[in-house]
Amino acid sequence: MADAIDGDTTLADLGEFGLIGRIGEVVAATAPGEDVLLGPGDDAAVVRVRKGHVVVSTDVMVEGRHFRRDWAEAADVGHRAAAQNLSDVNAMGGRAQWLTVGLAAPADLPARWALDFTRGFAEECALVGAGLVGGDVTRADQIVVSVTVLGACTVSPVVRSGASPGDVLALCGRQGWAAGGLAVLGRGFRSPRVLVDAYRRPAPPYDAGPAAAEAGATAMIDVSDGLLAEARHLAEDSGVSIDVETDAFEVPEPLLAVGQATGADPLQFVLGGGDDHALLATFPPDVALPDGWTRIGSVGPTGDLPVTVDGAAYDGPTGWTHF
């Protein structure tokens, strides 16, 4: 097992097939479920597709852009890589079932890092009963992780384009915590620890997506790049406008502390922060919101601005852009 590997052993020492074998040992310690007919080790995995809609998503993480090894342990990166993919299926109103991972890494990367990453990844998958069923490894100048997730929706998937004027805007899950943790780490600090931990290991509300779909959510998205940025996606794809009401948010004390220490408005972490993977959705006005969901705004007809804050244009950060 991974614990038997010396800390100085690199991927080059272990070799491609040695690494794959060790990863297989980590994966074998999890229970992928009876619908996995063939797991890692062959040219492709084989899974049984049952009743419902199959949903598929892919995300990529690049060292130095999406994570830093001096800010997060390998297991943390594994949890983050799994969470952002599991959350994409959650945002469709579904439940993730199977994942594959492509790992590119330098030859001198400690083998223990790759195995600890796999362990963290598998632990996060286990939270929703999903299994790691395959993938690939290759050599690269830096660590790159590519994950593909497959899941299922038992009801019609909730897409981004279904919001209508008169709907309410609602949020489920913590929001702004990871952004606060990133701000702390970026200044060379490790406190408040609760925010740093939130950045290292998100806690998506995995049961909230299916519950929202069952309740009749009209549109939904996970907050990976920023709340206002994701609200804009919903507004533009649905052909509506969205107004976010700041009095709906109770900014937690750790974010207030970071705002005071950095001179930033703590509300900016909430409105512009990503990586918590909260869910943002719209619901018909006569629908009772499921447990854990909070009304944070309203949907109106299309207008000059796709998204406003308290009825006006917002000039603060709205979220992350990749290019």
- Pick out the residues of the known binding site for ATP: 135-136, 160, 224
Q: Are residues 145 and 205 in the same domain?
A: no
pLDDT attached to residue 40: 64
Last residue of a domain, one of 153, 179, 213: 153
**How many angstroms separate the CA atoms of 267 and 260, rounded?**
12
H helix intervals, the chain: 11-14, 16-28, 74-90, 111-126, 177-186, 193-200, 208-215, 227-238, 253-262, 266-272
The pLDDT of 90-100, averaged and rounded, is 94
Binding residues: 43, 57-59, 66, 88, 135-136, 160, 222, 224-225, 275, 320
DSSP 245: -
How high is the pLDDT of residue 22?
78
pLDDT grade, residue 323 (50/70/90)?
Answer: very low
Looking at residue 41, its pLDDT comes to: 61
Structure-token pair, residue 74 = 């390998």
CATH code where residue 98 lies: 3.30.1330.10
Residues 14, 131, single domain; the answer is yes
Asked, for residue 253, whether it belongs to a domain, the answer is yes
* Residue 220: partners with Cβ closer than 8 Å, 6 or more residues away: 91, 92, 93, 158, 159, 160, 209, 212, 213, 279, 280, 281, 282
Q: Which residues are documented as binding site for substrate? A: 66, 275, 320
- The predicted-structure confidence for 220-259, as pLDDT tens digits, reads as follows 999 999 999 999 999 999 999 999 999 999 999 999 999 9
For residues 203 and 242, state if they share a domain.
Answer: yes
Same domain as 210, residue 69: no
Q: Does residue 317 fall inside a structural domain?
A: no
Mean pLDDT value across residues 285-307 = 97
Judgement on whether residues 172 and 130 belong to the same structural domain of the protein: no
Q: Closest by alpha carbon to 275, among 189, 209, 200? A: 200
For residues 79-108, give the mean pLDDT: 96
* pLDDT above 70: percentage of residues in the chain: 91
Q: Is 281 in the same domain as 251? A: yes
**Does residue 87 share a domain with residue 20?**
yes
Residues 6 and 76 both lie in one domain:
yes
Number of structural domains the chain divides into:
2
Mean per-residue pLDDT for 135-163? 94
Residue 269: give its domain's CATH number: 3.90.650.10
Quick one: pLDDT at residue 42?
56
CB neighbour list of residue 43: distance below 8 Å, 6 or more residues apart: none
Q: Is residue 315 part of a domain?
A: no
Residue 322 lies inside a defined structural domain of this protein: no
Segment 264-295, tens digit of pLDDT: 899 999 999 999 999 999 999 999 999 999 99
Annotated binding site for Mg(2+): 43, 57-59, 88, 136, 222, 225
Task: Please report, as a single letter, which amino acid is at residue 172.
Answer: C
Range of the domain at 267: 168-309
